[in-house]
């Protein structure tokens, strides 16, 4: 199974209880700060929310954003997102591929990418961002946020070959992996990268202006404007 197919299967099965990750006690102070940052950034904006998942962050910005289109590949997570109480005149959800975003008639002056960057293989990151930027107006605001690795709170890094034998944590591209265990006992090996501030800046080089990187304890935030 490809890393992309494995990711799709994993999140489809995890959809009913994905949001438990936001209940970890030690992360609550960081989450409050992150929610405030995200809500303030997208206030009054027309937002394209890529890999929106269960709509947790979509709901948070729905109170302040002008409009939002959430896109995700999994119908299972979109069902959870659509069941949330959000204003239908401002928010809609579509099934789509983050690597080949659908043509949309909406005009967006902002893009949100929450907890997806870490799952994108490093060789695909700039192509992914290029595809996102094509759906945004020149000079649009982009905010990306994801997990920082914290020993004892984050799932340990591990990688196995097709026979289940442990191998080097990094693959040939430098991607790292985690083995996730779901409630049904199934195990899933997924790409999970933890970039440094320097790596984040290097990835958007020549694609962005006004680049800002912020590290909290458990999360990092990258914000910038697309090149006009």
User: In angstroms, rounded to a whole number, what is the distance separating the alpha carbons of residues 189 and 10?
Assistant: 9
Distance of alpha carbon 12 from its chain centroid, rounded? 15
Please spell the DSSP secondary structure of 31-77, one letter per residue. Answer: HHHHHHHHHHHTTT-EEEEET-TTSHHHHHHHTT-SEEEEEES-HHH
CA distances from 163 to 110, 159, 166 (A): 43, 11, 9
What is the CATH class of 3-155+196-226?
Answer: alpha beta
Q: Over the stretch 77-135, which tens digit does the pLDDT of each residue have?
A: 999 999 999 999 999 999 999 999 999 998 899 999 999 999 999 999 999 999 999 99
Q: Over the stretch 132-186, which tens digit does the pLDDT of each residue have?
A: 999 999 999 999 999 999 999 999 999 888 777 878 889 999 999 999 989 999 9
- The answer to whether 145 touches 33, Cβ cutoff 8 Å, is no
User: In angstroms, rounded to a whole number, what is the distance separating the alpha carbons of residues 58 and 19?
Assistant: 13
Q: Over the stretch 44-83, which tens digit does the pLDDT of each residue have?
A: 999 999 999 999 999 999 999 999 999 999 999 999 999 9
Query: At 93, which helix (H) or strand (E)?
Result: strand 91-95
């Amino acid at each position: 199974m490809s890393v992309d197919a494995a990711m799709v299967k994993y999140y489809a099965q995890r959809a009913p209880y994905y949001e438990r990750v936001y209940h970890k006690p030690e992360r609550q102070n960081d989450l409050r700060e992150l929610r405030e940052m995200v809500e303030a950034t997208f206030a009054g904006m027309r937002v394209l929310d890529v890999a929106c998942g269960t709509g947790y962050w979509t709901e948070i910005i729905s109170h302040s954003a002008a409009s939002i289109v959430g896109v995700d590949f999994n119908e299972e997570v979109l069902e959870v997102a659509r069941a949330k109480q959000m204003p239908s005149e401002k928010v809609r959800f579509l099934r789509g591929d983050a690597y080949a975003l659908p043509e949309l008639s909406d005009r967006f002056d902002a893009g949100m990418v929450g907890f997806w960057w870490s799952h994108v293989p490093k060789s695909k990151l700039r192509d992914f961002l290029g595809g996102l930027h094509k759906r945004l107006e020149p000079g649009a605001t982009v905010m990306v946020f994801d997990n920082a690795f914290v020993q004892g709170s984050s799932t340990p890094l591990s990688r196995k070959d097709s026979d289940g034998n442990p191998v080097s944590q990094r693959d040939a591209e430098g991607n790292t992996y985690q083995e996730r265990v779901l409630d049904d006992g199934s195990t899933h090996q997924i790409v999970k990268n933890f970039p440094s501030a320097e790596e984040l800046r290097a990835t958007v080089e020549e694609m962005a202006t006004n680049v800002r990187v912020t590290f909290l304890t458990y999360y990092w935030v990258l914000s910038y404007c697309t090149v006009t």
